[in-house]
């Protein structure tokens, strides 16, 4: 398997522009997570999905952030409008629930976002 795939790997945009980050989870995984990583705040969970349904979006910082998972193999995280403080590395991760036990989360390589 190719692992979790994220695109783009790098994104530079200007304040006010819409940004869309994409994620393809590992095939067969039923959980998908979006994280944001910054030096100040570390790794923060933004939202996660189970079987394409959003379960907890309490980590989404503002209404400017939205995430969708239209099918089991694709998810997007959208920021509209973007602001300089959104600059961070955004990670997507996926996992497979099994026998009621937590399973490993497999992280993608991340998207490094810079908002000017």
Q: Which stretch binds other proteins (CB under 8 A): 20-28, 39-47, 66-74, 77-85?
A: 39-47
Q: How many helices (H) and strands (E) does the chain have?
A: 0, 11
- The rounded Cα 45 to chain-centroid distance in angstroms is 9
**Token duo for residue 45:** 């969970």
Work out which of 19, 93, 113, 115 binds other proteins, going by CB under 8 A.
93
Work out which of 33, 75, 86, 88 binds other proteins, going by CB under 8 A.
33
Classified as helix, coil or strand, 7 is strand
Our CB check for other proteins shows the closer of 85 and 97 to be: 97
Work out which of 2, 42, 63, 70 binds other proteins, going by CB under 8 A.
42
User: Within positions 70 to 89, which residues make up the interface with other proteins, using CB under 8 A?
Assistant: none
**Per-residue buried b or exposed e for 70-106, using 16+ beta carbons within 10 Å of the residue's own CB:** eebbebebebeebeeebbbebbbbbbeeeeeeeeebb
List contacts with other proteins (CB under 8 A).
4, 31, 33, 42-45, 48, 56, 91, 93, 95, 97, 100-102, 104-110
């Amino acid at each position: 398997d190719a692992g979790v795939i994220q695109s783009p790997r790098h994104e530079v945009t200007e304040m006010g522009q819409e940004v869309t980050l994409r994620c393809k989870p590992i095939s067969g995984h039923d959980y998908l997570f979006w994280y944001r990583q910054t030096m100040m705040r570390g790794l923060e969970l933004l939202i996660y999905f189970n079987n394409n349904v959003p379960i907890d979006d309490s980590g989404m910082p503002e209404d400017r952030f939205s995430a969708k998972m239209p099918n089991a193999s694709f998810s997007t995280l959208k920021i509209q409008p973007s602001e300089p403080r959104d600059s961070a590395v955004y990670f997507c991760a996926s996992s497979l629930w099994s026998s009621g036990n937590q399973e490993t989360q497999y992280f993608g390589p991340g998207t490094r976002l810079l908002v000017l």
